[in-house]
Amino acid sequence: MAATESPASAADATVPAFAPEPAPHASLRANALGLASSVTIGVASAAPAYSLAAVMGLLAASVGLHAPAAVLLAFIPMVCTAAAYNAFDRVAPDAGSVFTWLWRTIGPRSGWITGWALIVANVVVMASLGEIAGRYTFLLTDWDAAAGSLAAVTLVGIGWIAVVTAICYAGIHISARVQRGLLSLELLALAIFSVVALIRVLNGDAGAHAAAPQLAWFSPVGLGAHAALADGVLAALFIFWGWDTTATVAEETRDPGPTSGRAALLSTVILLAVFVLVVTTAQAFSGPGALAAHPSDALSAIATAVLGTTFGKLVVLAVLTSALASAQTSVLPAARTVMAIARSGAAPPAFARIHQRHQTPAVATLAVGLAGVILFVSLSVASKAVLSDSIAALGLVIAFYYGITNLACLIYFRHELLRDRRSLLTLGLVPLVGAGGLTWVFIRTAIDLSHPASSASHTAILGIGLPLVLAGAMLLIGLLLLTLTALRSLTFPRPRLADPA
């Protein structure tokens, strides 16, 4: 099929703020990842154990026994977004992913701010994961005093961020091997927890609040009031975030277009299976009340009851390995997006340099790791509550860049929609549902975060909750950088459209 005309007008094509980096002698390591490795990176990026530990209590408090149904509903906009990524990957696999796609589809400024949203989301979550990794390192050894020490947790957290940054610097093939090991430990621990919990429930050995799983738990009917439904779906939605790392390693993947697209879809499906299994067996064992009583770490709270004191450490280990794996896969997409921005001429060319031997974006990787350390230390010094507020603010940032990617898919493939029914479904209806669902999430999250009560630090600025202020600041900083670089449009050749699959 002939290429269609780029939406960007020729009049917008001017010289960029920075001269694009000349073709480097080294490039990213091509054909380093297969489908299995790419899926591993996508699943690990979502940090299943850590995400479940952080969200299960909130889910139980919002929707009670219908937590599995809330997870299923949250899956819908996620799989729609993964389908949009799949469509883009098939015609334009690129380490810049949303930055490059939005730049080509809507315009350079949209691409820049969307790429910035991805970068800042990963750097902020890296700071949180550093805190989790530091604290759980001590909890694993029952060193409770050190786990409660800000200085000790911060020092160890910095060390872990340095380690995962070094792994990313050393090469994508090394990163993939480490990911396989960490994710295997994590999923094994979650599987053991779930199987033992279910067996004890069915054997009547789980306590007075235990109940065998029921089909009604998986039905959205009975979720309750609109507010409860919204809170439950919002809580469930962002445990899926992270699978899109598969797109940023596309240039290092064998048969990058189809492989990266399939990896995105498979990652969301695997995450759904893991989340539904663990949420269902956990509430079957302890009931929603016990989970709601531990809003910040319900998984570890019931691990001892399920597995005993010694084997309960498996769940602590799962959360630690989950945090480390996710921290590593926070460096990967952020560094490659920085590299892609610099490669296009929209950032200093030094960030586009590829290490000759390791074939990684060396300067960008070190810069992202350093940014994570600086933010981690800054937020830790401010207070743990401010760190929590920054994580809450990510909901808006994530909904923004996922939602606009669905919209871009509709725009990019607009001439393909009426070609056949499959194209209308996969390139039209699916991204439309994703864009609509995430727009609702963005608005609902903004409303929730505007209330001072939403702030873990109980802080308000001009009467607005600190999480919403932080989310706005994250995006405004990107706009400020956009202005300071005097960014101008670049001309991208629109790729030929492959047959949607």
Enclosing domain of residue 378: 32-382
Residue 492 within a domain: no
Dump pLDDT digits (tens) for 411-464.
999 988 888 899 999 999 999 999 999 999 889 888 888 888 877 777 878 888
Question: Mean pLDDT over residues 378-406, rounded?
Answer: 86
d(CA 233, CA 69): 9
| 68-72, 128-132, 180-184, 207-211: range with lowest mean pLDDT | 207-211
In the numeric block, which tokens belong to residue 270? 């695997």
Give the DSSP per-residue string, 131-185: HHHHHHHHHHTT-HHHHT-HHHHHHHHHHHHHHHHHHHHH-HHHHHHHHHHHHHH
Question: Mean pLDDT over residues 227-238, rounded?
Answer: 75
Residue 463 within a domain: no
Question: Mean pLDDT over residues 224-237, rounded?
Answer: 71
Dump pLDDT digits (tens) for 55-93.
888 888 888 888 999 999 999 999 999 999 999 999 989
**What's the DSSP call for residue 465?**
E
Number of domains in the chain: 1
d(CA 20, CA 442): 34
3-state SS of the chain: helix, strand, coil percent to 5?
Answer: 75, 0, 25
Question: Bigger pLDDT: 208 or 374?
Answer: 374
Residue 46 within a domain: yes
Q: Does residue 374 carry a pLDDT above 90?
A: yes
Question: Bigger pLDDT: 345 or 224?
Answer: 345
Dump pLDDT digits (tens) for 142-174.
898 998 899 999 999 999 999 999 999 999 999
Confidence of residue 493 (pLDDT cuts 50, 70, 90): very low
Rg (CA), the chain: 22
Can you tell me whether residue 33 is helix, strand or coil? Answer: strand
Q: Does residue 499 carry a pLDDT above 70?
A: no
Give the DSSP per-residue string, 265-278: HHHHHHHHHHHHHH
Q: Does residue 193 carry a pLDDT above 50?
A: yes
Q: Does residue 228 carry a pLDDT above 70?
A: no
pLDDT for the residue 489: 46
d(CA 459, CA 266): 40
Beta bridge partners of 464: 461
Residue 453 within a domain: no
Question: Bigger pLDDT: 444 or 482?
Answer: 444
User: Minimal CA–CA distance to 28: which of 381, 332, 367?
Assistant: 332
Beta bridge partners of 253: 33
Q: Does residue 226 carry a pLDDT above 60?
A: no
Residue 167 within a domain: yes
Q: Does residue 487 carry a pLDDT above 80?
A: no
Residue 168 within a domain: yes
Confidence of residue 9 (pLDDT cuts 50, 70, 90): very low
Burial of 498 (0-12, 13-18, 19+ CB in 10 A): middle
The per-residue pLDDT of the chain, averaged, comes to: 86
pLDDT for the residue 486: 55
d(CA 197, CA 163): 34
User: Minimal CA–CA distance to 361: which of 326, 334, 329?
Assistant: 334
Using CA of residue 294, residue 155, residue 47, residue 341, what is the dihedral sign? positive
Question: Mean pLDDT over residues 315-344, rounded?
Answer: 93
Residue 410 within a domain: no
pLDDT for the residue 410: 94
For position 301, which CATH number holds?
1.20.1740.10
pLDDT for the residue 249: 95
Residue 19 within a domain: no
Question: Bigger pLDDT: 360 or 8?
Answer: 360
